[in-house]
């Protein structure tokens, strides 16, 4: 396929869609104008569809399949759960590892829903052979060795924005994966580090429409990590849905107060059910599928 500058529409949001030789970046609308839709059988990510991925920050209890069924009944389309946790302190809980991955696979078998979990290193790829979506956390957003490895394997990748990264840097990280041949990439805004201290991170809502303009890739928002406290997750979720996000990544735990990581930002099942009702109302008002 060949491209020329004349074949690309001129618009104010097209800045950065092509390289110095006039060839469009693979993430850009200049390369592909139609929205990318990732078909996972039970769930579709992108386009006019809107889905919610829900589950614990870390799988630190032994009945995830049963809990996943409750999340599905509440409206979740993907089950999330951390197995390996990159933590600021080496003395913090680092995840349950392979045992957690086995529980995620069991949850998938019980619910029929795809599962997503964070991969920390390319050497872990064999362990994630039964996981449907591989998540790249903010700390690995510019781990180019990992991104290249994910580009030459077929599973969808949920790529989080680094806590100090610009929108352009997030898109360039996606380009590393796309250049390997894997075009199933989900861009995730999860909040950036600013001088503001009233929230854990500052959720960049403006990044959502900008990413939708610049890229054909699905856009996800993680309100849990941005908020840092559960009473802020609902309003940030609704803001993201209204801004055009096609997916939300929400932390829900059966007993948040006993969670071994990020307990303050995880919703109870009851809170998640109430939030899903609100989200439906928002999406219906925008004439989106849910």
pLDDT in tens, 183-200: 999 999 999 999 999 999
Average pLDDT over residues 61-79: 97
Q: pLDDT tens digit string along 209-234?
A: 999 999 999 999 999 999 999 999 99
Q: Is the dihedral of CA 253, 127, 118, 259 positive or negative?
A: positive
pLDDT at position 3 over 50 = no
Separation CA 37–CA 47 (nearest Å): 6
Q: Is residue 237 part of a domain?
A: yes
Q: Is residue 144 part of a domain?
A: yes
User: How many C-alpha atoms does 191 have within 13 Å on its Cβ side?
Assistant: 22
Q: Is residue 205 part of a domain?
A: yes
Q: Is residue 82 part of a domain?
A: yes
pLDDT for position 271:
98
Q: Is residue 108 helix, strand or coil?
A: helix
Separation CA 251–CA 36 (nearest Å): 25
Separation CA 265–CA 278 (nearest Å): 19
Strands 44-45 and 38-39: antiparallel
Q: How far apart are the first and last CA of the chain?
A: 35
Total of domains in the chain: 1
Burial of 279 (0-12, 13-18, 19+ CB in 10 A): buried
Q: Is residue 3 part of a domain?
A: no
Q: Is residue 60 helix, strand or coil?
A: coil
Report the CATH number at residue 263: 3.20.20.70
> What pTM value is reported for the model?
0.91
Separation CA 132–CA 40 (nearest Å): 8
Average pLDDT over residues 242-253: 97
Separation CA 183–CA 36 (nearest Å): 8
pLDDT at position 22 over 80 = yes
Contact 189, 208 (CB under 8 A): yes
pLDDT at position 284 over 90 = no
Angle separating helix axes 64-74 and 98-111, nearest 10 degrees: 40
Q: Is residue 290 part of a domain?
A: no
Q: Is residue 240 part of a domain?
A: yes
Q: How far is CA 19 from CA 3, 28, 70, 209, in A?
A: 11, 11, 47, 22
Q: Is residue 7 part of a domain?
A: no
Q: Report residue 20's pLDDT band, with 50, 70 and 90 as the boundaries.
A: confident
| More confidently predicted of 157 and 289 | 157
Q: pLDDT tens digit string along 90-109?
A: 877 776 789 999 999 999 99
Residues spanned by the domain of 151: 36-284
């Amino acid at each position: 396929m060949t491209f020329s500058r004349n074949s690309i529409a001129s618009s104010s949001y097209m800045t950065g869609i092509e390289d110095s030789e006039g060839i469009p970046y693979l993430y850009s609308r200049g390369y592909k104008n139609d929205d990318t839709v990732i078909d996972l059988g039970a769930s579709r990510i992108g386009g006019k569809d809107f889905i919610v991925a829900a589950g614990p920050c870390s799988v630190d209890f032994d009945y995830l399949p049963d809990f996943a069924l409750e999340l599905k009944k509440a409206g979740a389309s993907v089950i999330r759960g951390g197995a390996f946790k990159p933590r600021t302190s080496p003395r913090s809980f680092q995840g349950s590892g392979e045992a957690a991955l086995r529980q995620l696979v069991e949850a998938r078998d019980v619910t029929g829903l795809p599962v997503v979990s964070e991969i920390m290193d390319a050497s872990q790829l064999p362990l994630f052979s039964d996981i449907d979506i591989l998540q790249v956390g903010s700390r690995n957003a510019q781990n180019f060795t990992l991104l290249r490895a994910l580009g030459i394997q077929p599973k969808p990748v949920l790529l989080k924005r680094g806590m100090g990264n610009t929108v352009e840097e997030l898109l360039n990280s996606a380009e590393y994966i796309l250049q390997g041949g894997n075009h199933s990439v989900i861009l995730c805004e999860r909040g950036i580090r600013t001088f503001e201290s009233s929230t854990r991170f500052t959720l960049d809502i403006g990044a959502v429409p900008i990413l939708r303009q610049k890229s054909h890739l699905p856009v996800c928002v993680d309100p849990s990590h941005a908020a840092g406290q559960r009473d802020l997750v609902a309003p940030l979720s609704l803001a993201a849905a209204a801004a055009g996000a096609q997916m939300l990544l929400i932390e829900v735990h059966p007993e948040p107060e006993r969670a071994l990581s990020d307990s303050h930002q995880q919703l109870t099942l009851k809170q998640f059910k109430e939030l899903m009702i609100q989200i439906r109302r928002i999406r219906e008002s925008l004439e989106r599928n849910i």
